[in-house]
Amino acid sequence: MKKLHTFNIIPVLVLSFLCSFTFAQDDDEDTATDKLAQTGMKFLSFSPDARAAALGDAFTAKTGGASSLFYNPAGMARLEGVNVVLGQTNWIAGITYNAVGFAYASNAGVFGVSMMNVDYGELQGTIRSTSDAGYVDTDLFTPTASVVGLGYAFAPTDRFSVGGQVKFANENLGTAYLDADGGPSSTEDLDMSTTAFDFGLMYQMDWKNLMVAMSARNFSESLKYAEEAFELPLTFRMGVAADVIENLSVSLVNEHPRDYSSTTRVGVEYSLMNMLAIRAGFVTPTDEAGINLGVGFNMAGFSVDVAYTDFGAFDSVMRFGVQYTL
Q: What does the alpha-carbon distance between residue 78 and residue 109 come to, in Å, rounded to a whole number? A: 9
Which domains, and CATH codes, for the chain? 2-325 (2.40.160.60)
3-class SS of residue 16? helix
Strand boundaries in the chain, DSSP class E: 82-90, 96-106, 109-119, 123-128, 135-141, 144-154, 160-178, 186-204, 211-219, 223-225, 228-230, 235-245, 248-257, 263-272, 276-284, 292-299, 302-309, 317-325
Rounded alpha-carbon distances, angstroms, from residue 45 to 1, 217, 293: 41, 8, 20
Q: What does the alpha-carbon distance between residue 236 and residue 95 come to, in Å, rounded to a whole number? A: 26
**Half-sphere exposure (CA, 13 Å, Cβ side) for 2?**
5
The predicted structure's pLDDT at residue 286: 77
The mean per-residue pLDDT over the stretch 208-220 comes to 93
Q: What tens digit of pLDDT does each residue of 145-158 get?
A: 999 999 999 999 99
Q: What does the alpha-carbon distance between residue 225 and residue 179 come to, in Å, rounded to a whole number? A: 15
Q: Are 252 and 240 within 8 A, CB to CB?
A: yes
Query: What does pTM read for this prediction?
Result: 0.84
Q: What does the alpha-carbon distance between residue 261 and residue 32 come to, in Å, rounded to a whole number? A: 9
Which pLDDT band, with edges at 50, 70 and 90, does 141 fall under? confident
Burial zone of 174 (CB within 10 Å; 0-12 exposed, 13-18 middle, 19+ buried): middle
* pLDDT higher than 60, residue 182: no
Q: When comparing pLDDT for 312 and 8, which is higher?
A: 312
The mean per-residue pLDDT over the stretch 125-129 comes to 74
The predicted structure's pLDDT at residue 281: 95
The predicted structure's pLDDT at residue 229: 76
The predicted structure's pLDDT at residue 74: 97
As a whole-number percent, the residues of the chain with pLDDT over 90 amount to 58
285 upstream amide cis, omega within 30 of 0: yes
Nearest to 170 by CA among 147, 197, 150: 147
Q: What tens digit of pLDDT does each residue of 224-280 get?
A: 766 677 888 999 999 999 999 999 999 999 999 987 788 999 999 999 988 999 999
Nearest to 167 by CA among 141, 125, 197, 211: 197
Q: How many CB atoms lie within 10 A of CB 99?
A: 25
